[in-house]
Structure 1
Amino acid sequence: MFKTGLLVISNPKKITSILSSIQKQVKNTLYIQILSALGDAQVGFQPKVFKTCPRFSKTIFGIYANAANQCDKLDVRVLLSGIKYNISKIQTRKPIDLIIFDKPYPQTEIDSFIKTRIQNITTDFHIVTLDSDNYNVSENEDGMPDDIYKHTVLGGTFDRLHTAHKLLLSEAALRSSEKVTVGVTEENMLQSKILWELIEDIEVRVTNVSDFLKDICPELEYNIVPISDPFGPAIVDPSMEMIVVSEETMKGGEKINSIRQERGLAPLKIFPVELMDEPNPKPIEEQKISSSTTRIRLLGTLLKPVEPNCSISKTPYIIGLTGGIASGKSGVASHLKELGAFIINCDQLGHDVYKTGKPCHQEIVKTFGKEVLCENGEINRQILGGIVFKNSEQMNKLNSIVWPAIAEQVKNIIKNTSAKVFVIEAAVLLSANWEKYCHEIWATTIPRREAIIRLINRNKLTEEQANNRIDAQPSNCFYVKAAHVVFCTLWPVEYTKEQVVKAWQLLQERL
């Protein structure tokens, strides 16, 4: 497969079959140049047919919608420079090593086109010619506004840039003559989103937006800014003339105009972009193409490379399974057991080290007093929990007693048990620094509100007690940042199992 392809397309209506063929040949990025958008076309190639560049809007929508359906793993980018300007050469930020023409041309014309019209190309590039039906783009974009604005604006999360994002950004660039401003939401605005802990860092999202826009149309000026409120610079910049929104965020655009008018600023022209349908949504996924669905599909996959742990043997393979209270660790562990993993439940081991006659028992009584004992002399974990969950200093004292004893038991079990894959299930895995015993870290997550509900129903805690338990532990972000693989148990158990099976299958490939 080739890393980067350039499709020179004369027949946009044949994009479905064309992309289906190309996805098997291009690995990373596919640039698309609409041939009829190029000015100064050579003999045999199509002339520009639309009088104004916004007339290409529906054609571009069709290309991105088909890309989402046919090759969603490919980074597809429709180039706009040839649409907006009489450029002499096709410019791309990434070097092209495969050029695809969607219809046959004389070899002399192909050679001349490549030599004179494509700027960033590798020395060992390849050419592929497909055979689509002849078709010229015709000016049939009924009702499509032709207006161009000096300064356009739009905003969003832009997590893991997908085709719907690319369409919004492309519309803003297509309809701007000078400048595009993009507001990218900061972390304080993300907590209401599904799996927000998996959202890329703001720096990554800003960079990705900037890279895409400067790639598809480098002639414009771009201002990509983090925003900490829903409005950003759109309510203060008098030079802005148009705002691009999705159909579902029209009210947000109207609110921005209301604020602008209160401040004596001219209202923005609102340009709504049609939502893109998700080709194959599952019941828990959104019907539209969205970052939420993208994040859901990351569950059970490898989120970052596994670095070799030289401090432990390569075999057996040890996975540390961790996560917050009520996040579903035991359920995930149960699924892994069914698939063949040997589970070491550190919570159960913890219960054991508390028992009378065990080394920790005497030390706990000595540290916290006899009031933590039941009538039979065993540790009353509920009373002890009431002490330590309200006081971090007391919690640290308890941990310094219990954690080393549990770690010793874990090592003994691994040493004396024959298994290929061990899973150390422990909420405190990272806090106790037990990741040093593991090859990979897997983590379970659950939204805070759902965790509270589970604690109230399962553990018979009050809401205040549930909140105290959650506040006494690290956040979901802490676990996600450390994890190679993440699960979320928010949905029905069948979907949790689907995540686990996916993770297990990918693990077998790595092993």
Structure 2
Amino acid sequence: MSVFRSGLLVLTSPLSALSLRLVPILASAARLVQDTLYVHLQPGLSLTGSTQPRSTYVPATSEVYSLISKLYTDADVHADLDVRVLLTNILNQGATPPALGSVQNLSQPPEVVLTDFETGDGGQSNPVKQRLERYATSCYSCRPNLISVLLYPEYELEAVDGELSQPPETGASEEPLQSYSDIVVGGTFDRIHNGHKILLSVCCMLAEKRLLMGISDKDLLEIKTLKELILPYEQRVSQLSAFLVDIKPSLQYEMVPLTDRFGPSITDPHLKCIVVSEETLKGGLAVNRKRVEKGLAELAIHEISLARDARHSKNEEEKISSSSLRYRLLGTLLLPPRKDSSLPSSPYIIGLTGISGSGKSTVAQHLANLGAFHLDVDALGHDIYAPGGPVYNQVVEAFGEDIVKEDGTINRAVLGAKVFGDREQLKRLTDIMWPVMAQAAKEKIEEAAAQGATVCVLDAAMLLESDWADMVHEIWSIIVPEEEAIRRILIRDGISEEAARKRLENQMPSSQRVKHSHVVLCTMWEPEDTYEQTEKAWALLQKRLKEE
């Protein structure tokens, strides 16, 4: 069977049976669809008989929500598959049904339609497959020449010790969910994951008219783990919009940046309900206190449970979370490598950079131990202004005789005090140093090539500031929270906190470095974590080099 980029899974089993079958059904679907899998819930749908099956409306109940929540949680093991449960035919108490015969457009029109429908004849009845295709195209925009697959009996019910497993007790009922005209929800919404999808789905099931979303930005991002890897606000909004319009295009969506804890939740008089998680319940209660202070009606609070991440590992959260996704990005390729005829075919050059105190030297040593040729550009800089070096006289003339020690060498501490904290003086020094350092680095790379090195690590704190990025195939940045970097600088260099902060102010911040980086590593955890990240990045690099 071919593998398709997008597919539509039409689930016809009763909800209670589906709860048991989701894991094997999703596993079967994931073998056939590699990118986007849309799921259409239509329990009781018959694909046999003389009349064409028609979509009917499923009431939005807690039982339906529990199944959707379980579906997304179970789907999380298929990390590369973007599962989207379509909610157009799941109506709340105040919703207006779409016009009969309307076909919903999807951002990734399905190439294949799948179903769990049991035919009783081995699951490959051609008339049933034809009716499934007609049903799918009557509901959604699909690719021409749509192919159908009947999953039953490819999957089997899960069994435990020979007994059929039972669905978990959720307290779900067939009572309709209370719906509201205007719903509000807030969050960072970085890299939409299945936890987000559960939250957004319940919002869409509760909302009759409008969903207002506050999206964390600026100062609210400062406390986030690996904040440097959080997508830009506009990109997060774009991903959210694409998902929401796919699952329920009939709602009015409004998205606003949140720069404080409350945003429009405490000023919009039309809001009726706020959706929170177990973690943000206190925030919902605080919203109501603020609304009362402003003379506005309190909001109904709808709380959802957090979805557990079965794949979580060390340094990751137990719940499905964006911070865990960001952690998994460490060591992976974030941008395509540079292809430039001016770069040597060998060695492959990695530009390693990071702010002072980031742990760059530690990573450089790990890479050298793994087999890379280590070129310490910062050390080259020390050599070129040594007595008799190519820039010694220029540096002394520019910054004065008081930077020279009794033995004739340049006092780096005195020179540093003159340039750090003074951008004009720093530029004066770098204009002297950088061109000579770049030439020295190129000569060292040629030496590495002559020695047969396949990978050369160009270890340079100022790689990006000096415009040396054109000398490398990939930029690898080492990041660490600024306060941790300052703590390390104080221990390592014995300078004042003020001096340490001034030093960092004269360097490109980590958030800016990441935008130019092909690979990012973080040293904020234990040393063994840094080594594991470095090994991961090295192994993936070796794989890329073999594929070239």
Give me the TM-score of the superposition, normalised by structure 2: 0.88
Task: State the AA in 1 paired with 2:495.
Answer: L
Matches within 5 A, 1:33-72: 33-36=40-43, 51-68=59-76, 70-72=77-79
Separation in 2 of the partners of 1:189 and 1:95?
36
Offset from partner CA, 1:379-425 (integer Å, 9 cap, x none): 00001111100211111111111112211211111112321111100
Matched, 1:241 2:275: no
Of the candidates 25, 28, 31, which is equivalent to residue 21 of structure 1? 28
Structure 2 gap ranges (5+): 92-96, 120-124, 158-163
- The amino acid that maps onto 2:42 is L
What is the SS of the residue equivalent to 2:391?
A: helix
Distance, in Å, in 1 between the alignment partners of 2:175 and 2:118 is 32
Q: What is the letter of the counterpart of residue 96 of structure 1?
A: P
* Match status 1:372 vs 2:379: no
8 A contact 1:41–1:47 mirrored in 2: no
Would the alpha carbon gap of residues 291 and 144 (structure 1) be closer, same or farther in structure 2, given more than 3 Å must change? farther
Q: Which amino acid aligns with 1:71?
A: H
Q: Which residue of 1 aligns with 2:536?
A: 502
Q: Does structure 1 residue 466 correspond to structure 2 residue 474?
A: no
For residue 31 of structure 1, give the secondary structure of its aligned residue in structure 2.
strand
* CA deviations over 1:279-320 (Å, ceiling 9, x no partner): 122221111111111111101011112231232232221111
Shift of 1:142: 3.8
Structure 2 equivalent of residue 122 of structure 1: 143
Match runs of 1:49-448 below 5 Å: 51-68=59-76, 70-84=77-91, 85=97, 88=101, 91=104, 92-105=106-119, 106-118=125-137, 119-131=140-152, 141-142=172-173, 146-417=177-448, 418=451, 419-448=453-482
Name the SS of the counterpart of 1:335 in structure 2. Answer: helix
**Distance apart, 1:121 and its partner CA:** 1.3
Rounded Cα–Cα distance in structure 2 between residues aligned with 1:487 and 1:129: 44
Q: Structure 1 residues 54, 48: CA separation in 2 closer, same or farther (over 3 Å shift)?
A: farther
Shift of the alpha carbon at 1:45?
Answer: 7.4
Contact 2:377 2:437 in 1 (8 A): yes
> What is the distance in 2 between the residues matched to 1:44 and 1:50?
19
Contact 1:54 1:147 in 2 (8 A): no
Distance 1:112 1:88 in 2: 16
Asked if the contact 1:356/1:377 (under 8 Å) is kept, the reply is yes
Q: 1:423 to 1:266 in 2, by over 3 A?
A: same
Given that 2:353 and 2:475 are in contact with CA atoms closer than 8 Å, whether structure 1 keeps it comes out as yes
1:432–1:140 Cα change, 3 Å: closer
Secondary structure of the residue that 2:402 maps to in structure 1? Answer: helix
Q: Is 1:484 the equivalent of 2:518?
A: yes
Cα pair 2:53 2:135 within 8 Å, conserved: no
Contact persistence 1:36–1:48 (CA under 8 A): no
Whether the aligned pair in 1 keeps the contact of 2:52 and 2:131 (CA below 8 Å) is no
**Contact 1:95–1:122 (8 Å) recurs in 2:** yes
SS of the equivalent of 1:432 reads coil
Sequence identity of aligned pairs in percent?
39
1:481 to partner: Cα distance = 0.9
Shift of 1:47: 9.0
1:31: which partner in 2? 38
Q: Is the 8 A contact 2:274 2:300 kept in 1?
A: yes
Do the aligned residues in 2 keep the contact of 1:39 with 1:48 (CA within 8 Å)?
A: no
The 1:379/1:294 distance shift into structure 2, 3 A limit, reads: same
Q: Which sits farther off after the overlay, 501-510 or 173-182? A: 501-510
The count of corresponding residues between Structure 1 and Structure 2 is: 509
Q: Please identify, of 430-439 and 53-62, the stretch whose mean Cα deviation from structure 2 is larger.
A: 53-62
Change (3 A) 1:276 1:46: farther
**Cα 1:148–1:452 shift into 2, 3 Å:** same
Asked if 2 retains the 8 angstrom alpha-carbon contact of 1:209 and 1:224, the reply is: no
Tell me, yes or no, if the aligned pair for 2:348 and 2:456 is still in contact at 8 Å: yes
Q: TM-score, with normalisation over the residues of structure 1?
A: 0.94
Moved more, 88-97 or 415-424: 88-97
Q: Relative to structure 1, is the Cα distance of residues 318 and 47 closer, same or farther in structure 2, using a 3 angstrom cutoff?
A: closer
Residues 1:53 and 1:90: Cα distance change in structure 2 (over 3 Å): farther
Shift of 1:322: 0.8
Instruction: Note the C-alpha offset of 1:339.
Output: 1.6
Task: Tell me the CA shift for residue 73 of structure 1.
Answer: 1.8
C-alpha distance in 2 between matches for 1:243 and 1:433? 48
Q: Deviations over 1:20-78 (max 9, x none)?
A: 2222221111111112187999879799796544541111111011011x312211111
For 1:301, what is the secondary structure of its paired residue? coil
1:107 maps to a residue whose letter is: N
